[in-house]
Amino acid sequence: MGRTHALTGWCAGLALAPAVGVTTVHQAVVFAATTAGFALLPDLDHPGASASRLFGWLTGALSWLLRRVSSAVYALTKGPRDEKVTGTHRHLSHTVLFAAGLGAATTAACSAGGPWVVLGVLILGLLLAEAALGDWLLPVYGGAVAWWYFTAPPDSAAQLAEISGWLGVAVAAGCFVHCLGDALTESGCPFLFPLPIAGETWYEIRPPKPLRLRTGKKVETRLVFPVFVLVGVLLVPGVWGWAVTTVEHLFTPPAAQTATP
């Protein structure tokens, strides 16, 4: 479901943030929100998805175009054992190739287009994430941006350049996490296209049958989603250390706490 994709994107963003040089809480929130939002974008190939309905006819038209392109690519590249399907949903936009391409295009666009492109990508990621996770994200994101603005150096151009440096990574990571999530379901996900596997160019990667999830059923809503809510909180910079210290304090005998070395 959309909210699970967004939540796993949020967790992935927080986990990946230190690797791209994002270390503060406010920067991590912006990075994770972008990753969460773009974790919904691959479903633009479905007319009923949140990404397809976000801006009405505009995103609806983009969804229609993506489905046409995906279907054409599938028809041209399918292997001898690939299924006889239209190749629209869960095909072209659900691949590592698409994730990497969109990430690279985002980086290039931000470099060439300047601050307005950076701002546009950030807003799009936020709106996608907010549509899936709820309105609580708006004040959290707004607070993070305000914190960043008032604590960072006054050179706004340098701040935007810093953001654009990792924005493509956030976009690509969000799309890739979406593919991994779909790969856990009964239908699987052909995210390794165009690598041929067992005579299929669009081989659906998925776990053994007993481990596959049914979308929107109890395992997802009552187990997977709550677990990732907890993970998403603990991954916020500083929260894990605080939690460990608190637990150690609670379970340390009072005598040990007051003892001197």
Per-residue pLDDT tens over the stretch 32-65: 899 999 999 999 999 999 999 999 999 999 999 9
Residue numbers of the domain that contains 161 = 2-258
Burial class (CB in 10 A: 0-12, 13-18, 19+), 200: middle
Per-residue pLDDT tens over the stretch 69-103: 999 999 999 988 998 899 999 999 999 999 999 99
Per-residue pLDDT tens over the stretch 207-227: 888 777 776 655 555 555 555
Task: Give me the pLDDT at residue 49, please.
Answer: 92
Q: Which of 38-47, 130-139, 239-248 has the lowest mean pLDDT?
A: 239-248
Share of the chain above pLDDT 70, in %: 77
pTM: 0.83
Measured in whole angstroms, the distance separating CA 2 from the mean position of its chain's CA atoms is 11
In total, how many domains does the chain have?
1
Region 11-22: what's the mean pLDDT?
86
